[in-house]
Amino acid sequence: MCAKPDVLFFGLGAIGSTYAYIFQESKRARVSVVARSNYGLAKEKGLSLRSKKFGDHDGIKFHGVYRDTAEAAASGNKFAFVICTNKALLDATPSLASQLEPVVSPDTTIVLVQNGVGAEEPLHQAFPNHTIISCVCWTGAKALEVGVVEQFNRDAMTVGVDWNPSLKREDEAKRLEEFAAILRAGKTECDVKEDIQSERWVKVIWNSLTTVTQLRTNRFLSSSPHSLPLAYAVMNEVAAVATAQGLHVPVGTVEKLIEQCTRVKEGLPSSMLMDHLEGRPMEVEVILGTPLRKGLELGVPVPILATLYSIVKALDWKNAHPDEARI
């Protein structure tokens, strides 16, 4: 019988905690985590999960709990998958690539479970001989308090390889299937896609609209007769940029996303909105900056993206400089 692969989750927030639990419940992986603010609690007491689907669980512990990747590397474990569930902050110091370096061995596959677009490129540059799996996460999860996570609404992930031309495609596909098999064994929805970037590009908008209005989706959409047309317009801008760079956005994609959102009658918040309200750095560049820059580069009109980027960037600056931002 083959030994279970060692898996490391980098980031133990709401999504990281939920999927670390799912991986552990699959019985197909030995799960370790890098936790920062909740390190002591995760190591001593374990985490708690509240979920209608997965049940309520307390004292969830993992094979290894580490303060940082250097400590994880010192454990001697060789990680088959390093799963990044931290915030996608392209301009952060230190960079994600430098933080991952201690735990990336020759056989490690790097997995991104993050918002936005453009986060793969710096990792391809830093790790040119490694497979990178990119995931679009549709799972609802939030922290109720330190160490207690609620999983709500659906749990689903769309996954695919961000293909590396220097590696054999069949080898990368095998890594992807191994990852997807663990997800499915953990009884969560997993949809494998050949073209993951097209999937990723059409999921970047609700974050910014909920943030600039500070409203759940249902409240925003019912606030004026112009709200829904605005949502369509900005999504269509992103779809146009994606199409211009050769990605495939099927006809009806924007309508499908709007319908999925409006189906949730109580409305949805967003991770960007939660970050803003808590005064944390927001994922401005991967959600708005990359689509905006790519649109300008390709000559695609993106006036609404430019407006949203400018407003959210200003809100991000305000949170980082509260004293200077006082009126």
Q: Yes or no: say if 69 and 103 are a contact pair by the CB < 8 Å rule.
A: yes
Q: What is the pLDDT of residue 46?
A: 97
Q: What is the pLDDT of residue 37?
A: 86
Q: What is the pLDDT of residue 1?
A: 43
Q: What is the pLDDT of residue 251?
A: 87
Q: Yes or no: say if 288 and 312 are a contact pair by the CB < 8 Å rule.
A: yes
Q: Within 10 Å of residue 249's Cβ, how many Cβ atoms?
A: 19
Q: What is the pLDDT of residue 203?
A: 74
User: Would you call 119 exposed, middle or buried from its count of C-beta atoms within 10 A (0-12, 13-18, 19+)?
Assistant: buried
| Mean pLDDT per 10-residue section of the chain, whose length is 327 residues | 86 96 98 94 96 97 98 97 95 94 98 94 97 94 94 92 97 98 97 91 75 92 95 92 91 85 83 91 94 97 97 96 93
The answer to pTM > 0.85 is yes
Q: What is the pLDDT of residue 2?
A: 58
Structure tokens at 191: 């949809």
Contacts of 70 (CB under 8 A, 6+ apart): 102
Average pLDDT, the chain: 93
Contacts of 97 (CB under 8 A, 6+ apart): 122, 123, 125, 126, 127
